[in-house]
Amino acid sequence: MFSDETDKDVWVRKEKEKARLLRKTHWWNNRVAPGVCHYCGRNVGREKLTMDHLVPLSRGGRSTKGNIVAACKECNTNKKYLLPVEWDQYLNSLSEKPTDLI
């Protein structure tokens, strides 16, 4: 996708700038108004929600309305660079009971 790291760095900077601009829109204000995290469903209040890319920039995601969700800081931090399917697998692994201890 990129010929070198410099191209990727420039692309990531542009995508982050797009995200900053989206954060100033009515669309984003409507997304955070309920104060609910997209991932865990907790109501943390709009001021504690962060902007998260479903498909992270580091994995080729873009700063578009279809790829950005409101997430609590805890979920956003834990999700890191994971794709949605990987994040779901991680969450499911947390709820599984270890059977090798029985």
Q: What percent of the chain has pLDDT over 90?
A: 81
- According to the model, what pLDDT value does residue 5 have? 72
Indicate the number of domains in the chain: 1
Q: What percent of the chain has pLDDT over 70?
A: 90
Domain that holds residue 10: 5-92
Whether residue 97 lies inside any domain: the answer is no
Distances (CA, A) of 25 to 15, 20, 21, 22, 65: 16, 9, 7, 5, 11
Whether residue 53 lies inside any domain: the answer is yes
69: CATH: 1.10.30.50
> pLDDT of 11-31, one tens digit each?
999 999 999 999 999 999 999
Res. 71 pLDDT band, cuts 50 70 90: very high
Whether residue 35 lies inside any domain: the answer is yes
Whether residue 81 lies inside any domain: the answer is yes
